[in-house]
Every structure is written in structure tokens, then in C-alpha cells.
Amino acid sequence: MTARLDEFPGALLLHGIAESPLEEASLSLAARLLCAGDDPEGRCDSCRRARRGIHPDLLTLSPEGVQIRVDRVREAIAFGAGRPYEAERRVVRISRSELLGIEAANALLKTLEEPGSRLHWILTTRRPEALLPTIRSRCLAVRVASPPIPDRIRLWREAGLSDEEAADLAVFAPEAEETATDVLGEARRFRAETVEALRVGLVEGRVAALVLLAEPLGRAETGEIRLVAELLADAALLAAGVSAELARHRAVTGALTEIARSVDPRALATAAIAAADYPPDNRRGNRRLHFESLLLTLGRSRSR
């Protein structure tokens, strides 16, 4: 196992749509790297302390306010250059790394190029596209999966929600947190407006609805853009003859079925992929133009 740990990447980027699995995975990996007793079960004292974030050879950076400051990154670099207290190596975790300030990101970039054999960086993010491309290129990127939708539905049902509410929250909120119910109404409103705009534009052929939809998508949050990609993917599945029971957003499969009957299935599948692969910044309207082009292309594929 020691040999395999020596081959562990110097910089690892964990990304996914839920915060808790990212934190759990990063702490588990840190514990494995710092384990002095080669304990694959992670039951030793060293592993337990690492999972709790209190191991002396583990340092965690997280946002303070709206960003991770450059002085904290410099502290981490100095920490990594020091001699380990207990383990054979040191680990620095950066939670929500998309909130690295520009100076902090540039300072980190220099050390990621040559972290050394006894220092490992583990970055986590729900928005990898928000990181500098040069940082992403120096990290091994690994996606961390969220709990399966059936498990999330079960958790929400056990929390006392109705079947319909549980099904919606399972796709709107990747993590079963108490505050997730606060987003339900707003998420449902956004979904309903998006589906109606797609229906009007793609079924009725009113192109203006698609152009107007591109405007809010140009400044939308990651979760809202993911929702659009999911809706297009559901429509593509329905167009391919897949049962509506397998759609992620079963509450709107009626409108999505109309769309599926009006648009080429291959165009829907292509649009779903393109929606998820949106530009990382919006300083010059890149994101709005991306979605406008995507939606108008989709509109041209509708059956007459």
C-alpha cells in the first residue's frame, strides 16, 4: 500500500454536485494518506483524527466570507514545506476551491507545479469550471457521486414529506439538508417557467421565447443550468421511447413529452450535453450567447 500512496497525485481535484460527499471523500483520502499503520479500514487513531480534521499534518482551507484569501494559501504553502509531525507526508485540503481569490489562485498555481513528494493538495468544488484553467490542468480531476436519487427520495419521505415533494427535492437538492426545503418553491417556479418557454419555442415555434429564455440562463446559478440540462436530457429520453417513470423530472413529463414529439431526438441529446458544457465566465455575454445559439439550433430541428 505504501508504494501506491507514493504514486498518489500531488494535486487532486474532487468535484461533484453535493458538498457533503465531497467533504467526506476528501477527509477519507487525507486519512489514508496520513495513516501511519497502513490501516485500510481507517479505524486507527491517526485516521479518526484526520477524518475529524484535527490531525497535525492536515491543514484545511475554506472560504472566509466570500473568498479564500491569499494569506491563507501562503500559510498552507509554508505548512507544506515543513517537516511532518507524525506521518510520512502532509496534506492540505481546500474546500470550495472555486472561491479562491485571484491572488490566492495564482499563489497556489506556483506550488501545484512542483508540490514535492511529501505534500498532497486535495481541492473540492461544486463548480470546477469556475477555477482557473491552469489550476485544473495541474490537478487530477475525479468526480464524486451524490447518493442515488432513490436513496434521496427515501430520506425525504422519512423526513415526513409527501411523495411528490420528496421526488422533487431528490433532484433539486443533492443533499438531504434541513434548509433544502426552502429552495423547493423557487426551484419549482424556475422549472415551470423554463419548461413553458421550451414548449412555446419548440412546440409552437415561437422563437422569441427561446431568445428570452437565454437571457436569464446567461446569469443563472450552476444548479439552475444543471436543471435545464436535465430537462433536455429527460426530453431526449422520452423522444427515444423511454418510460416517463425513468425521467428525473416526472412532474413535468407531460410538457416534456410534447417537446419530445416536436424535436429531433438527436438534437435534444446534443443540446442536453451542450447545456451542461457552458462557458466558465460571463464577462462578455459568452454564456447568454452560448444558450441562445443552443436553443435556436434546437428550434431549427423541430418538425414542421
- In tens, the pLDDT along 145-154 reads 777 777 778 8
Same domain, 38 and 91: yes
Please tell me the total count of domains within the chain.
Answer: 3
Same domain, 137 and 14: yes
Same domain, 161 and 187: no
Same domain, 207 and 161: no
> Residue 283: which pLDDT band, with cuts at 50, 70 and 90?
low
Is residue 121 a contact partner of residue 90, using CB atoms and an 8 Å limit?
A: no
Q: Per-residue pLDDT for 13 more than 50?
A: yes
Same domain, 108 and 196: no
pLDDT (0 to 100) of residue 5: 55
- Residue at which a domain ends, from 127, 157, 176: 176
Same domain, 156 and 218: no
User: Across residues 253-280, what is the average pLDDT?
Assistant: 88
In terms of residue numbers, what domain contains 78?
2-143
Q: Can you read off the three cell numbers belonging to residue 107?
A: 499563489
Distance, CA of 257 to CA of 18 (rounded, Å): 29
Q: Per-residue pLDDT for 239 more than 70?
A: yes
Same domain, 111 and 56: yes
Same domain, 155 and 128: no
Same domain, 32 and 129: yes
The CATH number assigned to the domain holding 227 equals 1.20.272.10
Q: Could you give the dihedral angle defined by the CA atoms of residues 120, 123, 129 and 135, in that order, rounded to the nearest 10 degrees?
A: -30
**292: nearest Cα among 280, 274, 304, 268:** 274
Q: In what order do the strands lie in the sheet with 11-15?
A: 58-61, 90-94, 119-125, 11-15, 140-143
Same domain, 75 and 35: yes
The CATH number assigned to the domain holding 86 equals 3.40.50.300
> Residue 3: which pLDDT band, with cuts at 50, 70 and 90?
very low
Same domain, 61 and 92: yes
pLDDT (0 to 100) of residue 2: 42
Is residue 156 a contact partner of residue 164, using CB atoms and an 8 Å limit?
A: no
Q: Can you read off the three cell numbers belonging to residue 139?
A: 490537478
Distance, CA of 247 to CA of 261 (rounded, Å): 16
Same domain, 169 and 190: no
